[in-house]
Amino acid sequence: MTDTLDRPTETHAFQAEVSRLLHLMVHSVYSNRDIFLRELISNAADACEKLRYLALETPALLGDDGNLAITLAADPAAKTLTVADNGIGMTRDELIENLGTIAKSGTKAFLKAVGEGAKSSNLIGQFGVGFYSAFMVASRVVVTSRRAGSDQAWTWISDGINGYDIRPAEGDEAPARGTVIRLELNDESTTYADEATVERIVETYSAHVPVPVTFVKAGEDAKALSDGSALWAKPKSEITKEAYKEFYGNVSGQWDEPAMTIHYKAEGRHEYSVLLFVPSMKPFDLFDPARKGHLKLYVRRVFIADDVDLLPHWLRFARGVVDSEDLPLNLSREMLQHNPVLEAIRKNVTSRLLSELAKLAESDAAKFAEIWEAFGPVLKEGLYEDAERRDELFKIVRFRTTASGEATRTLADYVAGLKENQTKIYYLLADDPARAAASPHLEGFAGRGVEVLLLTDPVDAFWVRTALGFEGKPFQSVTQGASDLDAIPLVDAAEPTPDAETATGTVALVARLKELLGDKVSDVRTSNRLASSPSCLVAPEYGPDKQFEKIMARHQGAAPFGKPVLEINPRHPLILAVVAKLGGDESLVEDAAVLLLGQARVADGEAPDDPADFGRRLAHVLEKALGA
């Protein structure tokens, strides 16, 4: 629809979430108000870069004004601060969509984080609500914008409380192209109309945006605050740590310190510059189903796109830019997806990032541990999705184990500590570390000093099913199949060998339990994986692990793949007591069968098959035991 001049001023109400957001921002959330200017400058730079890209196909959009720039102007007397750009600009509908609705803002996620007590200093950039930060310092915001190539400009006005008005721009207030944001500063924020304050904020937060920033003072020449130079094109020796951090904030929209910075120029068959950052804080959209990457693609310093898969999805936490010297400037969306040069860059940048992570793990274990704590579950997605990179990832992945406590161990550490006759890498899948550590399936392994990987991330259930092993040692779930622990000697003493009568009674009990439990289990057998627990459930030899079944049932409603196996501990006093009841009080044996199965399910974090029947039988056994 073409914008027209015959529209009167229209008044719109903010969506409820936006109104609440603005109230929070003004009254309670943000302690560092300076960041509003960083956000407005970043938005202006994005608008300029979008125009630069669109002008590759439509040069007329630039007209006679090809020098893209951001201009700041302050008027202490009028208590105003203006941020202007000659970028792509906005139509009436875009003003409503971008400034008046929730569609583009990430506001719902923002409000959820505020409700969960998120740190205020991280929220604006993290959630993409940067424009709204203007209301921290302004009692009224006036936005006038003209879309490049449009005859009509529009003005959007709001006090951040009573909705907003939108009307055709009048007279000289309309820019030839781009957007002008005028902040009418509130009484607590008049210092933001001071030239020195504006210079300090730009120098601190926006000195390396890829568009020149100038300051204009009434009656004086424009003063350059930033030259729009590309930081990634400069030699590393000329860049300070503070400059890297500042650029990281601009390119990522985050407030934290980067945990790792990778800056290099590749030369040879393909030439390109890379500046990557690994955050120290989890981005809010880390587990968004879309799993989008966040690297910006440039071609000879011309911004092309920020949604190209320059890294695989399992490295989506990285932020930064890649600037190619070889790609054509007129790349279409289809060409971006299938360009061989881009694919070569993707492969090499992925290898470099993994290599740098491996080096950091060796040189600074504490720093790498912080990265792993934040992004380990995402990196492990690569073990499942990228078989070609699995060996590289095995060098850097870390695991909590039954021997590591709160620390983590590598697979190389694990293999170096294999026990006598141990031929497999054992693991336990669970919902959380506490539940994993309490699992009865670990008892026999603990008695032999065998280390077990405690895998508590959902992706773990998938990659262990596809990975063949590490250094010739296959992965084996401790909750699946028959245990092969007999060949591994105990740490302290040999297990007592039951006498012939007890062994015979145990065989009889196994047969009786099979009869009583019927099709509730696929088998009943004695176990050498138990030490202090009377029973446990394991998955059959072939098929999925029990935890994998739970995940599939939880997310896809899949039915169990098969009946579990009930294992009993032939040395446990309870089992021996039940053996003694065989041929006597059969009602107690029947109760014991149901209770042993139910107890094993409870130990796995599940409910008994029939909780009411389980409760009745438990009461019956207690009455007998207590002589009631």
Are 146 and 177 in contact by the 8 Å Cβ rule? The answer is yes
250 is in an annotated binding site: no
98 is in an annotated binding site: yes
Q: Tell me the CA distances in angstroms from 286 to 58, 297, 313, 419, one per residue in order.
A: 36, 20, 10, 39
Pairing of strands 535-538, 565-568: antiparallel
Q: Could you tell me which of 294, 297, 282, 281 has the C-alpha nearest to residue 232?
A: 297
DSSP 31: S
What is the rounded CA–CA span in Å between residue 461 and residue 548?
A: 5
Alpha helices in 159-264 (DSSP H): 195-205, 241-252
126 is in an annotated binding site: yes
Are 177 and 148 in contact by the 8 Å Cβ rule? The answer is yes
39 is in an annotated binding site: yes
333 is in an annotated binding site: yes
627 is in an annotated binding site: no
Tell me how far the alpha carbon of residue 363 is from its chain's centroid.
25
90 is in an annotated binding site: yes
Q: Tell me the CA distances in angstroms from 602 to 252, 289, 437, 568, 607, one per residue in order.
A: 45, 32, 15, 15, 6
Strands of 153-271 (E only): list them. Answer: 153-158, 164-168, 178-185, 213-216, 223-226, 258-266
**340: enclosing H helix or E strand:** helix 340-363
260 is in an annotated binding site: no
129 is in an annotated binding site: yes
Percent helix / strand / coil, the chain, rounded to 5: 45, 20, 40
Phi and psi, residue 161, nearest 5° = -125, -55
405 is in an annotated binding site: no
Q: Tell me the CA distances in angstroms from 436 to 403, 412, 425, 475, one per residue in order.
A: 13, 22, 16, 17
605 is in an annotated binding site: no
Are 558 and 592 in contact by the 8 Å Cβ rule? The answer is no
Q: Output the CA torsion sign for 347, 351, 354, 356.
A: negative
252 is in an annotated binding site: no
What is the rounded CA–CA span in Å between residue 59 and residue 44?
A: 20
Phi and psi, residue 225, nearest 5° = -105, -25
Other Cβ atoms within 10 Å of 195 Cβ, number: 15
Q: Which residues are annotated as a binding site for ATP?
A: 39, 43, 85, 90, 98, 104-106, 126-131, 179, 333
Q: Which residues are annotated as a binding site?
A: 39, 43, 85, 90, 98, 104-106, 126-131, 179, 333
